[in-house]
Amino acid sequence: MSEKVRVRIAPSPSGNLHIGTARTALFNYLFAKKTGGEYVLRIEDTDLERSNEEYKQNIFDSLKALGLNWDEGPDVGGNYGPYKQSERFDIYPKFAQMLIDKGYAYECFCSNEDLDKEHEIAASKKIPYKYSRKCLNLTKEQKDELKAKGIVPSIRFKVEAKELVFNDIVKGELKFDTNLIGDFAIMKSNGTPTYNFAVVVDDMLMKITHVIRGEDHISNTPKQILIYEALGAEIPKFAHLGMILAPDRSKLSKRHGATAVSDFIKQGYLTEALLNFVALLGWSPSDGVEIKNVDEIAADFRLDEISSSNSIFEYEKLNWMNGQYIKKMDISKLTDLALPFLKDYDLNKYSREQLEKIIEVTREPITLLSDLVYDTRYFFEKPVYDEVCELLKTNLSKKVLDKFLSDVDGYDFKNEQDVHDKLAEFRAYFKEKFGFKPKETMWALRAALTGRTKGADMVSIILLLEKDEVIERLKSAKAI
């Protein structure tokens, strides 16, 4: 019987949820979904100085917004809690002591100054630094003496020299010479565990079967495997994902654009588009169709088919994809997401139904929800005529506006078909009588009603603005 897959996402709350962590979370989530496994959220907040509540909340909110809900975690609980490392501080020393007792670890009394000196010597000899093992063979008496002086030791793992080989699901076989590693700390003198130790103890106790994470952690993996071996624990399978790079191939950072999921959302990206886009950073659909929802991706997902190379974060492709999602999204849902971006407008001017119509008729060309601020402005504010001044001053425009004003009483503003038909007659009239092209006639009308030469369809604009407003705008435009 094969054991149940258990994976985890283990963010450190020292920043808002990064888009790269969102991809790691997604791949863990997809793997769990595909295999009927469990997906755990663990908050790695052992570094109390760098961790804070706001970041933790941001991580929760962003993962939830993306729909990457966890089966076990700090808020929902589970059989292997607590799921916040800061609430597990009593667990780690016991395992560290066990390693000392078995001869896999030892107390180290070196001060930071001692260690800095060792680093300097290695640097001056141009050799990679490795701890000197000065404290490896201290006698009990020596240790007691140091402790009596008030020196609290850290605990170091004793690294045996050997070739360590493991099979990474994504990267294939990886070999490390542990002789290069040096004895590393597993517990700090302040009683908190180091990352490498806490992560192994927790993954072991939480029965994690697959560790799927960014390849920036590859160099930690041999250390972690040594700890598993020393603890006599089963070693999980590892899958290290290639890095996400900026279009200029440097590390993705704020100077390239948003990097935190919450910033993407604030800028008007849809979480569905973000998820679909980050899935493609390493995974490719077997049928070549890139636009897919999470369920479709999960059905087609295979961890061993993830690309082992780095991926480029193409903001332009994300924008395109976001536009595709905006075009297809259910209009009521899209309106819910769009209205917060329009909060500075007097939304009470319109009914919910009309607001949905405004979004419906303006969504086609946009890439971000925030584009709606500009694209819907003329529905909420008087048009600004700066850009269409010249157009409105033409003879053609004057004729078009005059006629529309004299016809307007005949329009039935409650009847879409009627407005549609009347506009067709209106265009035909100018074509026949003056030879104006239909689009020229409409430009003049559009310029008067919106201050622009492009935008939503005219029938919708006229119906949404309603008669009084239409008349008022035409009169203002005529006065230009």
Which positions touch ligand GLU (CB under 6 A)?
Answer: 10-12, 44, 199, 213, 217
CB-based contact 305:326 (threshold 8 Å)? no
Within the chain, how many helices (H) and strands (E) appear?
Answer: 20, 11
- Helix residue spans in 69-138 (DSSP H): 92-101, 112-124
Q: What is the closest distance, in whole angstroms, from the C-beta atom of residue 286 to ligand GLU in the complex?
A: 27
Q: Which is nearer to ligand GLU, 133 or 217 (CB)?
A: 217
* CB of residue 249 to ligand GLU, shortest distance in Å: 22
- Strands 172-177 vs 163-168: parallel, antiparallel or unpaired: antiparallel
Hey, what amino acid is at 193?
P
CB atoms within 10 A of CB 293: 13
**What is the DSSP-derived secondary structure letter of residue 217?**
G
Q: Which residues pair with 77 in a beta bridge?
A: 73
Q: Is the separation of the CB atoms in 195 and 177 below 8 Å?
A: no
Exposed, middle or buried: residue 115 (CB in 10 Å: 0-12, 13-18, 19+)?
A: middle
**Residue 6: which H helix or E strand, with range?**
strand 6-9
Handedness of CA 33, 34, 38, 41 (dihedral sign): negative
Q: Residue 94 is which amino acid?
A: K
Question: To the nearest whole angstrom, how small is the minimum distance from the Cβ of residue 195 to ligand GLU?
Answer: 7
Residues 380 and 362: beta-carbon distance below 8 Å: no
300 in helix, strand or coil? coil
Nearest Cα neighbor of 20 from 296, 263, 294, 259 is 259
Q: What is the crossing angle of helices 458-478 and 438-450, to 10°? A: 70
Nearer to ligand GLU by Cβ, of 202 and 272: the residue is 202
Which lies closer to ligand GLU via its Cβ, residue 28 or residue 397?
28
CB of 413 to ligand GLU, least distance (A): 58
CB closer to ligand GLU out of 24 and 271: 24
Q: Which residue is catalytic, options 125, 140, 254, 414?
A: 254
DSSP reduced 3-state for 344:
coil
Q: Which is nearer to ligand GLU, 199 or 338 (CB)?
A: 199
CB 251, min distance to ligand GLU, A: 14
Q: Shortest gap between Cβ of 72 and ligand GLU (angstroms)?
A: 16
254: annotated active-site residue: yes
Q: Of the two residues 12 and 460, which places its CB atom closer to ligand GLU in the complex?
A: 12
CA distances from 84 to 5, 15, 365 (A): 21, 16, 44
Our CB check for ligand GLU shows the closer of 176 and 325 to be 176
- Residue 291: closest CA among 275, 309, 276, 307: 276
**Nearest to ligand GLU of 17, 321 (CB atom):** 17
Contacts of 250 (CB under 8 A, 6+ apart): none
Residues sharing a CB contact under 8 Å with residue 80, sequence separation 6 or more, in sequence order: 40, 72, 205, 206, 207
Q: Least Å distance between CB 74 and ligand GLU?
A: 14
Q: Are strands 38-41 and 163-168 parallel, antiparallel or unpaired?
A: unpaired
Strands 6-9, 38-41: parallel, antiparallel or unpaired by DSSP? parallel
Helix (H, G, I), strand (E, B) or coil at 262: helix
Looking at beta carbons only, is 251 or 382 nearer to ligand GLU? 251
CA 166 to each of CA 173, 226, 436: distance values in angstroms, whole numbers, following the listed order: 6, 11, 76
Q: Give catalytic residue positions.
A: 254
